[in-house]
Amino acid sequence: MFKKYLAVIVAFILIAVSLVILSQSLRRPGSPGIMKKLVFEVTAPVERGIHSSVDSVGGAWKRYLFLVGLEEENRELRKTIAALQGEVNYYREMSLEGSRLRKVLALEDSTVYPTIAARVVGNEGSSPFRTILINRGSRDGVKDGLPVISPDGVVGRVIEASWNYAKILLVTDYNSNIDALVQGSRAQGILQGGGQRLSRLKYVQRTEEVKVGETVVTSGLGGMFPKGLMLGTVARADKKDPGLFQTIEVVPSVDFSKIEEVLVLQTEKE
């Protein structure tokens, strides 16, 4: 009797359990469970091993069979340029802010946050969800919600942290929404990830004059990301669509397919 209905019972239980997990996740997004942490801890080292093997084979191929030395130098120069670009951007932002507010307020120097350097150990480019795994977790001080950056700009934020690893929601994921502003025009909006497409800067009034090529940075509103971090550049801005807001597309400043090291900003006050 029981055997006859075993298949139906098993199917029912599995569907019910998966539905409960899904509904719980939709109701309380980002609530980490012990199972998730264990999965990170088990799979991340294996991924890390495979990644480093592939990287080392690929790196050796490039270094020894192609341009010996030049590739290394080029990489260093690119890193330096990216770091300087970020610095220039930061100073430009500070300068603009200073000139606007000098007459009104005496601003304190912006707080420099402590950082945690981490290596990317998992990056599935083809998934519909845009996330990466890093090799730092709660033991190193990584917590949910902390911003993650690279020399090129904002990478995303921590959505789940196990003891030694953490999952980062990239700015290109559809679920990523960051308070942003266009550096030149000071137009404010919400930068939403576009998956494989360009990100969209939403809720920018039609009255704002936004130009292609302008830099988009974090606005500091919302409390998650500090002000002035590079997000990307405006690729398209038009007012053809009817409605209150204009359509603005933004190219993210970070090349997520080549991301290797990141910094987690410890923005939370102890």
Q: Which residues bind another protein (CB under 8 A)?
A: 6-7, 10-11, 14-15, 17-26, 29, 35-36, 39-40, 42-43, 46-47, 50-51, 54, 122-131, 133, 159, 167, 169, 173-175, 192, 195-197, 257
Give the closest residue to 259 by CA, choosing from 61, 110, 121, 77: 121
Least distance from another protein to the Cβ atom of residue 75, Å: 19
Q: Are 211 and 230 in contact (CB under 8 A)?
A: no
Three-state SS at 122: strand
Nearer to another protein, 40 or 225 (CB): 40
Q: Are 219 and 205 in contact (CB under 8 A)?
A: no
Rounded (5°) CA angle 182-186-187: 70
Nearer to another protein, 217 or 254 (CB): 254
Nearer to another protein, 217 or 250 (CB): 250
| Residue 189 CA: distances (Å) to CA of 27, 54, 183, 205 | 26, 40, 12, 9
Least distance from another protein to the Cβ atom of residue 245, Å: 15
Least distance from another protein to the Cβ atom of residue 80, Å: 26
**Cα–Cα distance for residue pair 149/89, rounded to 1 Å:** 14
Nearer to another protein, 170 or 234 (CB): 170
Nearer to another protein, 17 or 101 (CB): 17
Nearer to another protein, 151 or 194 (CB): 194
Strand partners, 233: 215, 251
The answer for 117, left when phi > 0, alpha when psi is -120 to 50, beta otherwise, is beta
Nearer to another protein, 34 or 106 (CB): 34
Least distance from another protein to the Cβ atom of residue 118, Å: 17
Least distance from another protein to the Cβ atom of residue 71, Å: 19
Least distance from another protein to the Cβ atom of residue 39, Å: 4
Least distance from another protein to the Cβ atom of residue 187, Å: 22
Q: Where are the beta strands (DSSP E) in the chain?
A: 115-123, 131-134, 147-150, 153-161, 166-170, 177-182, 188-192, 199-202, 215-218, 230-238, 247-252, 261-265
**Cα–Cα distance for residue pair 192/65, rounded to 1 Å:** 42
